[in-house]
Structure 1
Amino acid sequence: MTFDQAMAFIREHGIVLSAARGPVPRMAEVIAGEPIKGSWWAHPKSHQIFAIFQKLADSPDILVCRMIGGKVTFVHRRLWPALVRLADRFEPTQIAQVHQEHTAKGHHEAHEVPYPEWVPAEVFDEAGKL
């Protein structure tokens, strides 16, 4: 799977979990092309999965948050106006933007941008029209 195919998949589905099990598709399994037992880090396509995850996180059309069950969730920009319109139905931590960083020591750190600081002005305008 390519990055463009991954983006198209997320655009089509709107909301996709990165790897956790839940009520929406799991991007790691879509990239792998098969169900993954255990951690995706041990899968033969782990490098491809990681590379696509990194590109998705850098995309201006993808919100990375912890919307579903506190797990890393990708939300396509086409749903952001609806998300903003319904923001009062979510816990603030669910719709905070998550940036993941790998430190020089190999640690994994997550940083959050609280809602609504990450929301572009045009998305607020679109949300107001819903």
Structure 2
Amino acid sequence: MNTITYETSSDILKEFVKQEKIVLESARIGLPSVVGFIVGFDYKGSWWSLPKSSIIYNSLQTLREWDRILVCTLLKGKITFVYDDVWPYLIRLSNELPPDALSKIEEIHSVNGSHKKTTCEINCWASKELLDASNSISRTEAIDKLYLYIPNAERILHEIHVL
């Protein structure tokens, strides 16, 4: 019998997001995803149908709580994790993105177990220093920096319609 093991070390998952800069939570649209990294194989259907899905869920929650990751819907309206290195450049390009692409998504867990999703716009989650820094960056510089930092920059910049 094969034992399924998942990569759930929060340090390793954080390093994965830090290295990739922009990753999907679980969607499979040809770009790296956290769930794909956790399970280590291409799966069919929802990750909730995988064995030990609660372990995957807990790992995702740990990442969602990390203050260096913005959870938003940057890529095709899918849950996306964005590492803080690239926030200023994406904020600079935000007027070219879908309206809520960089709105922060948070899940509120009630005592009875239900979940409520809330969002807050860039001005709500980004500090004044971050907003000022992003305003001082030219569009060309923002795109150049994203190419420099993001391994899948070409594909991602096309997906978000900046190129």
Alignment partner of 2:66 out of 59, 72, 89: 59
2:118 alignment counterpart: 111
Aligned amino acid, residue 32 of structure 2: P
Higher strand residue share: 1
- What is the aligned residue count? 130
Map of 2:127 onto structure 1:
120
How far residue 125 of structure 1 moved from its aligned partner, in angstroms, is 3.9
- Unaligned 5+ segments in structure 1 are none
Residue 50 of structure 2, aligned match among 37, 43, 46: 43
Superposition deviation, residue 108 in structure 1? 3.1
Contact 1:32-1:45 at 8 Å conserved across structures? no
Structure number with greater Rg is 2
- Following superposition, the deviation at residue 23 of structure 1 comes to 4.1
Q: Percent identity, please.
A: 32
TM-score normalised to the size of structure 2?
A: 0.73
Query: Which residue of the other structure, out of 71, 77, 85, is the alignment partner of 1:78?
Result: 85
> Structure 2 CA distance, aligned partners of 1:57 and 1:69?
19
- State the shift of 1:105 in Å: 4.1
The Cα shift of 1:92 comes to: 2.3
Q: Which residue of 1 aligns with 2:94?
A: 87
2-side partners of 1:13 and 1:74: how far apart? Answer: 10
What SS is found at the alignment partner of 1:111?
Answer: strand
4+ residue runs of structure 1 moved beyond 6 angstroms?
none
Map of 2:34 onto structure 1:
27
Q: Deviations over 1:64-99 (max 9, x none)?
A: 001111111000011101111111111221110000
Structure 2 runs not aligned, ≥5 long: 1-6, 142-163
RMSD: 1.6
Q: Is the 8 A contact 1:22 1:68 kept in 2?
A: no
